[in-house]
Amino acid sequence: MTRRSILNEPTLVLNRSWYAIATTTVRHAIRLMFVGASRAVSATSYETHSFDTWVELTVPPDELCIRTVSMRILKPEVIVLTHYDGVPNKSLPFTRRSLFKRDRHTCQYCGTQPGAAQLTIDHVMPRSRGGRTTWTNCVLACVPCNLEKGSRTPGEARMSLGRTPEPPPWTHALEIPTGGVPESWTKFVSDKLWGSIGA
């Protein structure tokens, strides 16, 4: 893996109360550490490090790291901010991509996963009857189930939802890396959140 790709990898950001609030790049995490705005967190000991103490840590021979002309630096996977206590706004705009994430690419009526091309957005209370496009009124439905339900409610169509639709339990800022959740992150965020985002 190249130095450039490591610098662009994600780092989990905790606020001063150790609450996960966002992700950033390794490059930006190092910059925050350098100016004293954050400290790196050791996932094994929970010990925190300033930039100066972090760069002094020994890097195992097979560990991916940031290489400079004179040193090898561990990649900070988790940082904690030194001053910020806030929590960003958790509201997430309704989008097709986020709905697919929330419903795990699964028809909420029959439970099948036919592929994105065969999944549609169904309004639980049909739009023709005043139903709105919101997290609590929209679900994924395969084409056959959507056609069967038509402009009726699930009760009228005698179809049941696998679960009640609700807003996703993640924030827009907290994105999961393409390759999956780093082990070090799971200690700071609940399993429920990872299950929802990683789907």
Please count the other Cβ atoms lying within 10 Å of the Cβ belonging to residue 152.
14
Q: Which residues lie closer than 8 Å to 76 by C-beta, 6 or more apart?
A: 11, 26, 29, 30, 33, 40, 41, 54
User: Scanning the structure block, which residue is given the tokens 């190092």?
Assistant: 30
pLDDT score, position 191: 54
pLDDT score, position 1: 46
SS3 100: helix
Q: Is the pLDDT of residue 34 over 90?
A: yes
- Is the distance from CB of 30 to CB of 39 less than 8 angstroms? no
158: which DSSP letter? T
Distance from C-alpha of 48 to C-alpha of 37, rounded to nearest angstrom? 13
Q: Is the pLDDT of residue 139 over 70?
A: yes
Q: Give the phi and the psi of residue 132 in degrees, each rounded to 5.
A: -100, 160
pLDDT score, position 165: 96
Domains of the chain: 3-89+171-197 (no CATH), 96-157 (1.10.30.50)
Give residue-wise pLDDT tens across range 145-154.
999 999 999 9
Please count the other Cβ atoms lying within 10 Å of the Cβ belonging to residue 134.
13
Q: Characterize the bridge pairing of strands 10-14 and 78-81.
A: parallel
Distance from C-alpha of 195 to C-alpha of 104, rounded to nearest angstrom? 10
Give the best-scoring range by mean pLDDT among 40-44, 70-74, 148-152: 148-152
